[in-house]
Amino acid sequence: MITFDDVVKVYPGGGTAVDHVSLELATGKTTVFVGPSGCGKTTSLRMINRMISPTSGRVLIDGKDVAGQDEALLRRGIGYVIQHAGLFPHRTVLDNVATVPVLLGKTRREAREAAMKLLERVGLAAEFAQRYPAQLSGGQQQRVGVARALAADPPIMLMDEPFSAVDPVVREGLHREFLRLQQELGKTIVMVTHDIDEAIKLGDEVVIFRQGGVVAQVGTPQELLADPADDFVAEFVGRDRGLRSLSFDTAAGLPVRPLPAELVVDDAGRPLGWKSADGVRPTGGTFTSADTLRLVADLAILSPVGIAVRVDADGVADGIAPHHDLADYLAARRS
């Protein structure tokens, strides 16, 4: 567990960056610090590995104050990923990943062998190992950055805007990869982002900072969307937070109606579309009971007839959910 105990950071002449922050970040979970620029989120992150020292208060890892520990040794035990990856341009991808194990005294050969496995783990083919960072795309560099941070198998990973320098499509892929890796590895991750959607998507817990280094609210993504503490959080979380909060529930409990005659299906029972005057109009997609309510709402809105179609694991249609049924279901759930 990482503990912030009444931490304050005041820069000489620069005002207060972090203002009496107390937090407990759970082991094995992803905690995301999010907020507008200048809210102290990055400063807070960097106090964990002593890149910045607090003016007052303590930061503890598993009950031990980081201030008492050797800076370099502390940092070797904490993975660190930053925007643009910060890779060493003069080293091959493989040697970049091997950096910390070598610092920790492993032989270059051992470190490289381990690095090779890590590259595979973050989804990079072996052929990239001997390339230099300048030969990689932004997304590939970011993967190398993650592999490098993981190389010494640190229990804690700090990630400072790790995905903000890549384009949205690549970012989407990196997000999926991140969630998969974290499920496998169960690291204690602290991530900084200015993107609330990213925070909600990746965080087990989200800490929202406001201007002046004050914590506005701490909670799970669901809690933040459902119950923002004040106007600032509500504004920051965004307008369509009601719709977005549907992402946290599956359609398993949503009642469906039997298939109507207007729904055209093929021989196997897979939906083809809705009958209409000018032929068959496509359904615009289907959902399963494992999908989120947000997808159901989306499908109901997009559907030419205002009805979402449910299918089973084989893609066979087994029920429909009209938009008014969804509305009733949500209303019933609220009360």
Partner 1 sequence: MINYLSNNSEAVLAALRQHIVLALIPVVLGFLIALPIGYLGVRVPWLYHPLVNVAGVLYSIPSLALFVFLPVVLGTKILSPLNIVVALTIYTVALLARTVADGLRSVDFLITESATAMGYRRFRRLVDVELPVALPVILAGLRVATVANISLVSVGALIGVGGLGQLFTRGFQLFYIEPILVGVILSVLLAGVADLVIVLIQRAVTPWTRFQGSRA
Using CB under 8 A as the criterion, which residues of the chain lie in contact with partner 1 when the complex forms? Answer: 49, 51, 71-78, 80, 82-91, 99-100, 103, 131-138, 148, 158
User: Which CB atom, from 81 or from 206, has the smaller least distance to partner 1?
Assistant: 81
Taking CA atoms, 299 is separated from 11, 117, 190, 292, in Å, by: 51, 41, 35, 11
Taking CA atoms, 191 is separated from 41, 182, 325, 331, in Å, by: 9, 13, 39, 35
Angle at Cα 116 formed by Cα 184 and Cα 127, nearest 5°? 115
CB of 105 to partner 1, least distance (A): 12
CB of 297 to partner 1, least distance (A): 40
User: Which CB atom, from 137 or from 211, has the smaller least distance to partner 1?
Assistant: 137
User: Which CB atom, from 42 or from 283, has the smaller least distance to partner 1?
Assistant: 42
Give the residue among 158, 150, 122 at the shortest CA–CA distance from 48.
158
CB of 38 to partner 1, least distance (A): 19
CB of 69 to partner 1, least distance (A): 11
Amino acid at 251: A
- Give the integer Cα–Cα distance in Å for 254 and 269: 21
Q: For residue 253, count other CB atoms closer than 10 A to its CB.
A: 10
**In sequence order, what are the residues at sequence separation of 6 or more whose Cβ sits closer than 8 angstroms to the Cβ of residue 204?**
26, 29, 30, 31, 220
User: Which CB atom, from 134 or from 277, has the smaller least distance to partner 1?
Assistant: 134
CB of 49 to partner 1, least distance (A): 6
- Residue 214 per-residue DSSP state: E
**In sequence order, what are the residues at sequence separation of 6 or more whose Cβ sits closer than 8 angstroms to the Cβ of residue 248?**
221, 222, 225, 292
User: Which CB atom, from 21 or from 100, has the smaller least distance to partner 1?
Assistant: 100
User: Which CB atom, from 41 or from 244, has the smaller least distance to partner 1?
Assistant: 41
CB of 260 to partner 1, least distance (A): 55
CB of 293 to partner 1, least distance (A): 40
User: Which CB atom, from 33 or from 80, has the smaller least distance to partner 1?
Assistant: 80
In 170-205, which positions are buried (b, 16+ CB within 10 angstroms) versus exposed (e)? bbeebeebbeebbeeeebbbbbbbbebebbbbbbeb
**In sequence order, what are the residues at sequence separation of 6 or more whose Cβ sits closer than 8 angstroms to the Cβ of residue 6?**
20, 21, 22, 56, 57, 58
Give the residue among 184, 180, 183, 174 at the shortest CA–CA distance from 193.
174
CB of 77 to partner 1, least distance (A): 8
- Give the integer Cα–Cα distance in Å for 267 and 252: 26
CB of 157 to partner 1, least distance (A): 11
Tokens 């925007």 -> residue: 83
User: Which CB atom, from 77 or from 319, has the smaller least distance to partner 1?
Assistant: 77
User: Which CB atom, from 156 or from 225, has the smaller least distance to partner 1?
Assistant: 156
